[in-house]
Structure 1
Amino acid sequence: MEWQTLHNSPSLPPLYLRAALKRNISGTTLPDCGLRCPVRVNPRAVEAYRKVCGFADGPMLPATYPHILAFGLQLQLLTAKHFPFPLLGLVHLRNRMRILRPLGAVSEVQVSVHAQNLQPHAKGATFDLITTLDDSLGRLWEGESRMLCRGAKLAGESMDQPLQIIDPLNELLRWQVPTDIGRRYARVSGDYNPIHLSALTAKLFGFPQAIAHGLWSKARALAALEEHLPIVNIEIEVDFKKPVRLPSEVILSCSPPGSNGQWQLKGAGDIEHMIGQWKPIG
């Protein structure tokens, strides 16, 4: 793996322009390279993120906040000329993260991103976007996002195994997802994907309504589950199912608190939006 080290987080507007201009698949091989960058944590930005996602105030960074710290690097990697798939149209299928040490008193970290594990899929090809956070003491957090590129052609069959609900789940909470949550989340995350911003921009990409960011839905669910989960030595995995249309009501059901458990996010008509699970690392 060849690593390129940046001195600052990339500026997002030029990367959005790159993304808009690249519409075609240019290959079926992932680049053997990654990006690294020191990133400073902004307490005001963390506070704004907490409010949008429903996290309570506290000394620990929200478990999902590293996604925000890494977004610029991820965007630069996925819009690079040698990356074979166009960013627009990628579908986030699964997300896994591991919290290795407490995310307290975190002020500056090194963020690293790369792509690996290109695999065939019934609808195209998938790859894993790998993100890590390190501080002066070593590894803090690891993330893995399974992305689907529709239309890419690889030989072989998909070996992916979706999560299955095996625990009895009880309703924990329900909430209204407002029409503007896509715009509000974009302001704290930097992710201005048009399918999340308004019905008008979503229709340009074939969606009848705007849909919530998958990582917002995950963060909102984990905010509601904070009292259920350990704060360290935990692996959290989610499968994204049907998108949450804006506006709508969703229902969160989960296992009892403990070292292992599952949860499910559903909408009207029993539509399944997300399945998640947590377990100890190792």
Structure 2
Amino acid sequence: MKKILVTGCNGQLGRAIRKEYEGENVTFINTDVVEGEDVRALDITDIQAVISMVEETKPDVIINCAAHTNVDACETQWDLAYKINAIGPRNLSIAAEKTGAKMIHVSTDYVFEGNGTRPYTEFDAPNPVSAYGKTKLEGEKFVQQFSSRFFIFRTAWLYGDGKNFVKTMLRLSETHNEVSVVCDQLGSPTSAVELAKAIHHFEPTENYGIFHATCEGDTNWAEFTEEIFKRAGKTTKVNHVTSEQYAQMNPASAKRPAYSILENYMMKLTNDYRMADWRDALDVYMKALQA
């Protein structure tokens, strides 16, 4: 029986991964910062705790879904962000290598500056401009340095079972006749279910390396919101505003990528694998929400 250790198991992706493997002959070692039902507490920033856990449970695969994802907070919590986003993956990679486990790490579009004019491929040089992006890139480097059998999946605009943009917009629509949403930041909304499917597809293979993993197609946040409202039957008006206008209304400390579109080049080239179009994935998610 295959054993998979998941960190951040209570997050959107962690939950999606566990559902994705349902019905298979797999044992999950579920870990998160807080212990719970069928969940073991694990501080991934503590190298001895990580090695002890991995040596005890002997997983075949480690999937790291844990991250400090509060982009603005990372600007003022550099040490904490670095510990979780960089040292954590480092520790897990060291433990994976020590026990012979495959290492799967989830990264982000924020490793790029976000001023491009074409989709970023895995061969474009990262150049993060935020603390979040910088610490996530360091995490990538540590995984490559300490693990000989690794998959790094860079994703973007993720939503799933948990707190996310889709639910935030739906909640706002209950109390607002109109909302103002940025229209000059481009990216690919990605369902955690689709990302979990991609991880499941590649996990048994030896096709190691860095992969971009977003749903196909692209949009901006305002148009994404309109598509959400349309599927939910909401009449809330979406005001398209620039990032500069939005910042004046809602000051933030971190710079967001203006162009965040990733090309899943390596997935298609090495395995002919394609993720769903973002609109189709949103349809599935919204139907599940409404059910």
TM-score (norm 1): 0.27
Q: Which has the higher strand share?
A: 1
TM-score (norm 2): 0.27
Q: Which has the higher helix share?
A: 2
